[in-house]
Structure 1
């Protein structure tokens, strides 16, 4: 028996993770154009994964909760660690730079954990879709870093 939930509702999240892991390998090899493209593509996948998950009308509570958790765990890699790796490989490798990358990585984990807790609380109170996003989503790094790289 396999652990986890395997259906189309989470496939885009897994694709996003795979793209990010490939992007990390490209950053480590110095192929920054491909790495940055992978970050942006991963962000595009993340933009639609929730919409696809919501198309399945008969999702169980376990499937919904699994989707929330797996999305956040993948987001830690895709939009927390991956951008930090790109920045490090691009030369943000002084003591202060590494400190900033550590701070960003820790903040991304805290942000995602906070989202998971608040989303679980919200889902216990209502079955309506979220009307707005509180705070700056971690996935915004998929827009910010490519823009900075182009400059």
Structure 2
């Protein structure tokens, strides 16, 4: 009787092996910027937090651009990168704005409500997108979450024109409005897929980084 050796099972890659994938490195760089944004929000260095938030968006856009131009990536690579991107998005565009709102509101209990609404809307928005994807293959249903950071960083440019109390209200209303738009039925284009928008974001990121960086000194 001849005994045939069993066919070797497919060997799964190690978890850490995905770190060397360039798009995933971009995603993790964005997470590093988000971590700094959270830290600086908590300690009250809001201009530094704005720099972290805007660069998190830049790296978020970069991972998709790099992934689309890379050859040899498998379906598993793409699936892993997509999952990583979604998980980082909830931190960058949900947790970070919520902490920013709480910290700027000096952790007043009233701001917990706003922070929860922001975080809940982002979780619902990402879950909906993971389920249904782009509407018609070209547009998002609801305001895409990266717009939250782009808009909040812009609004913060005017912080010096108001008292802390007044701007706290402005920031609160802005964050809640964005949360409502995130879970609304409006259709918005996929900005990161347009090369022109990438150049605009690059200028926007560098310009705001310079402005906020100057105000740190």
Please name the residue that 1:28 is paired with: 42
Partner of 2:70: 56
Q: Structure 2: how far apart are the matches of 1:134 and 1:61?
A: 25
Give CA-to-partner distance per residue, 1:106-133, whole Å, 9 cap, x none: 11011112212223xx7xxxxxxx4333
Is 1:139 the equivalent of 2:125? no
CA radius of gyration, larger in: 2
Unaligned segments of structure 1, at least 5 residues:
123-129
Structure 2: tracts of 5 or more residues without a match: 1-12, 159-217
The question of whether the paired residues in 1 share the 8 Å contact of 2:98 and 2:114 is answered with no
State the Cα distance separating 1:140 from its structure 2 match. 0.8
**For 2:123 and 2:155, how far apart are their aligned partners in 1?**
22
**Higher relative contact order at CA 8 Å, sep ≥6: structure 1 or structure 2?**
1
User: Is it true that 1:148 corresponds to 2:155 in the alignment?
Assistant: yes
State the superposition RMSD in angstroms: 1.8
How many residue pairs were aligned? Answer: 142
What is the deviation of 1:74? 0.4
TM-score (norm 1): 0.84
What is aligned with 1:3?
A: 15
Structure 2 length normalisation: TM-score?
0.60
